[in-house]
Chains A and B, each alone.
Chain A
């Protein structure tokens, strides 16, 4: 991609949620195109924030403006009142383990996202994390609007810190620590076009069913990275768009947690490099993430196993194909 093409993609496929303030117009366009939209919130012990998310998103985007046709919370087995609160405010609630039981149960956010493809009916599925404390309808309409309005767009990512023009130039985008010190350098080395995605790891995105069902889903940390790499490989950068959702407030993660996350993302990334022929030889990779802790002057190594298991493309699951066929009938 030339610099000019890059600039074109950025200007054509980068949006601000404010462009889609007229939700009624979006509803009309959605109905005209006969599209259905499902919203999925993957959860694990989110009772503090899930009530507000369900209340606001359902009230605004299902009751006031019927933009969303289906609202589901898919849970990994919360020990707190997450499901009770979500159900109380009208979300359809599911345990991930109850969906497609014949394929077994794996623990991780990616598992819930993958099983949502089977459980939910929409032509478009929008995923929103459960830990957003400043939830607002823009987190959904900002992501689904480009898919409603532009048939060429297949996958829309959120970003949150709008680059502003300073006198010295453009302020660097505010990606998270893992984005800036891991993902962006890797993209710059191997997939320079994907560096146009301002926040590749953001947990909010919307996509068409027909692309979600043909890609594998890592069940852990690598799910966002794999989506970008797999869809880029299949469709190129033109399939993507991104929307500025302004500020997002959520829990901050410790550096240790981010190290573990990076380890998982690296596994996903390197596997794709190999699968896409970007590197020839790949040694067996360790699945143990090692770090140090110090206590009373003594260093000890902490070893945690992080296996980035993957679910195959949903379209390869027989139960899913039968389910979709029955819906079509």
Chain B
């Protein structure tokens, strides 16, 4: 059980390292959202 708990947390930490970085929302997109 303890091994599984450590493994679960390790999977999350590794995921944060490889997770994609999406470009920030542009001004145009922000205005479109507001208009919607």
Bound pair: A and B?
no
Q: Which residues of A contact B (CB under 8 A)?
A: none
